[in-house]
Amino acid sequence: MEKQIDPLTLLALANTCVAAIRRGTELYKQVKGTINDAQKTYNEVKTITKEVGGFFGFFTKTVEVQVPIEPRGTESNKKSKVVADENSVYTELAQNLAKLFRLQEQLENILRQEEIKSKSVYDPNQNLMESALNRVLIQSQMDKLSEEVHKLLIWESPPELGALYTKCHEMRTHILAEQDYARNKIEKKKRDAQRKKEQMISKMQDNLIYFVAVTFVLGMLAFIWWVIVMDRKARYGW
């Protein structure tokens, strides 16, 4: 059986994931800013060139515009590098989100198992305040991290990151519903199997009781009959 990881360790890992997501969003905004600035400059240059190219369409005038010229291929290489950086940052953010969701799922499983254990196993030595503190600590930290990530990606990031988080969160909710359905089916099968087992054991016990009772009654009748026979022989000789 796999050993359960300590909840505090999982929370520490979740905090690390959130820190990585925070750094990733800042880096992504910087990369997007570089791309937007480059696009803005390019559009401005196009606008200037178009405006000086003609005046009300009556004449064409050539005007020299001082625009920094880089060696051939440099701008293309920079653009490719920026796009590559954008893709890598986006991918890393998605990976960190997946890690965070995985850690949240593990923590939710711990809470669920604690609840099931509390409902099914009576522990007179359990420290109720300690158990309550552990549950509240896990739940509050999970809520805090979820709110922080939601704020980072929805309100403080470019729209595509918010869309990524929203889609991931919606899909996660959908998958959780599917898993709940599957788990409920499995638990129902276990309950049905346990009930059938208990019914079978109860039936065997009832049959055993009936057998013992019938055997006892037959034994008593046989004993009474033997006493009657022995008494008759003693009195009458036959």
97 pLDDT tier (thresholds 50, 70, 90): confident
Question: How far, in Å, CA of 65 to CA of 105, rounded?
Answer: 59
What integer is the mean pLDDT of 198-205?
90
Which position has the higher pLDDT, 99 or 129? 99
Give the per-residue pLDDT at 110.
Answer: 85
Which pair of structure tokens corresponds to residue 147? 């709110």
In the prediction, which pLDDT does 152 show?
86
Q: For the whole model, what pTM was predicted?
A: 0.54
User: pLDDT tens, 22-77?
Assistant: 888 888 888 877 555 544 544 544 444 444 444 334 444 444 444 444 444 445 44
Q: Which two tokens stand for residue 146?
A: 């979820």
Q: What is the pLDDT of residues 175-189, one digit of tens each?
A: 878 888 888 889 888
**Residues 150-169 pLDDT 10s:** 888 888 888 888 887 888 77
Give backbone dihedrals phi and psi of 116, rounded to 5 degrees, phi first.
Answer: -65, -45
- State in Å, rounded, how far the first CA of the chain is from the last one: 75
Q: Provide the token pair at 196.
A: 């059938």
